[in-house]
Copies of this chain bind each other. A is one copy, B any other.
């Protein structure tokens, strides 16, 4: 599709630029302070979870269902009811689950660390290898890429298609290169594209034939129950079971978290995986800690009970989030629909909208947004090493701000995208002179 500026004359472009520049300066003059940079729940969403804190107080008992005093040391892998809750939400069995504290990011970090220093189920520690590589579907989650970058793991971009990562490429790398030890995946309502991996993509993952025995799929199902329309949830295959059936019983680590269900950083998180991987992880855990926060596990288990309790709760989250995501679509359509200057996703769940400018514009757009008082995720953040080869992807995170702020931020964004696009076209006419 052609964009609206490319056939304009230099004079027409200059006129358009002048108009947009004035509009931009008017926005700047408002002295706004908006932030649509991170996937944080809003205060209104946090209020939904306040009753969780009332479930436990000094007048109730603190015994888990097997009679364990959650206030004391022990229960290394979690109390039974928390495992059952987490397994239910993660669509697996309690015996496949280890409960951690705080955040699934921390679990992923510790797991990559363990694999660096002690290998995977008896394999050679990665630091003893000449090189370790991870596949990174792009655009993706910046904090995943930060972990692998921290350990000097070479990251290889894999394009994200409509139905998940480019599986032809994934299969080729995984089956041919024994130094490829992992792939970062957010299989449902992916960060930032909102992609839901198709059944076929999931099955192809389960049937991978890795060259490396210690290759694992890092399956961060962070948004498994985070539907925007809970009456039409998306469901994907459960990968522990699919891997087992495909003869790859130990190939997947699944991550889950209540951070965006109850309280970010003050909830519970879990690893779900095969018995073999569980034993491997516990061998490190028992050195690292005596046990995590079981009081908080009990709090969550008593409040939510099971996936039904979680679904009822997520319906209320969705009711708050949906209007914000609808506003993003509405304003983007109004400002940029049919211009050919951009394309963006319209996700059915998760926390993000992924937006692509014309090539070479993203950094400049984010910079100008900041200068107008609107903080967005840094351009490039959605790619390994912060390098977006096209300089076009921008992540929009509309969850935290209020609805009116989102509208305003997106209106300014529309203006800025047009302004930067016009400037690009003007540069072209400069060069062609």
Binding site for B on A (CB under 8 A): 38, 40-41, 43, 46, 49-51, 53-54, 56-58, 62, 69-74, 101-103, 105-106, 109-110, 113, 116-118, 127, 143, 146-147, 150-151, 259, 263-266, 284, 287-296
Q: How far is the CB of A30 from chain B (nearest CB, A)?
A: 23
What is the CB-to-nearest-CB distance from A93 to chain B, in angstroms, rounded to a whole number? 25
Query: Complex Cα distance A53/B334, Å?
Result: 50
* Most chain B CB atoms below 10 A, which of A54, A101, A105, A296: A101
List 15 other contacts, CB 8 Å, given A46-B72, A71-B266: A40-B73, A43-B72, A46-B71, A51-B58, A73-B265, A102-B291, A105-B288, A106-B289, A109-B289, A110-B288, A117-B117, A143-B290, A147-B287, A266-B295, A293-B296
Select A289's contact among B51, B103, B296, beta carbons within 8 Å. B103
User: In the complex the two chains form, is A109's CB within 8 Å of B287's CB?
Assistant: yes
Say whether A53 contacts B57, CB under 8 Å. Answer: yes
The CA-CA distance from A38 to B70 in the complex, in Å, is: 16
Cβ–Cβ < 8 Å partners of A105 in chain B = 288-290
Contacts of A103 in B (CB 8 A): 289-291
Q: How far is the CA of A284 from the CA of B73 in the complex (A)?
A: 27
**Do A296 and B266 contact each other (CB < 8 Å), given the known contacts A102-B289, A106-B288?**
yes
- Chain B residues positioned under 8 Å from A109 (CB to CB): 287-289
Q: Which residue of B58, B151, B284, B293 contacts A53 across the interface (Cβ within 8 Å)?
A: B58
Chain B residue numbers with a CB within 8 Å of A38 are 73
Which residues of chain B have C-beta atoms less than 8 A from A70's C-beta?
Answer: 266
A292 / chain B contacts, CB cutoff of 8 Å: 102, 265
Q: Which residues of B contact A54 (CB under 8 A)?
A: 57-58
Closest to A292 in B: B102
Docked Cα-Cα span, A106 to B290, in Å, equals 8
* B287, A41: Cβ atoms closer than 8 Å: no
Residues of B within 8 A of A101 (CB): 101-102, 293
Chain B neighbourhood of A69, CB < 8 A: 43, 46
Chain B minimum-CB-distance residue to A117: B116
Q: Mind listing 12 A-B residue pairs with CB under 8 Å?
A: A50-B58, A53-B56, A57-B57, A71-B266, A73-B265, A101-B293, A102-B292, A106-B289, A110-B288, A113-B113, A127-B127, A293-B293
CA distance A336 to B287 in the complex (A): 36
Say which residue of B62, B127, B290 sits within 8 Å of A265 (CB atoms).
Answer: B290
**Residue A102 contacts which of B147, B150, B293 (CB distance < 8 angstroms)?**
B293
With CB as the reference atom, state the residue of chain B lying closest to A264: B73
- Measured CB to CB, the closest approach of chain B to A72, in angstroms, equals 5
The answer, among B40, B71, B117, for a CB contact under 8 Å with A264, is: B71
Question: Judging by beta carbons under 8 Å apart, are B53 and A263 in contact?
Answer: no
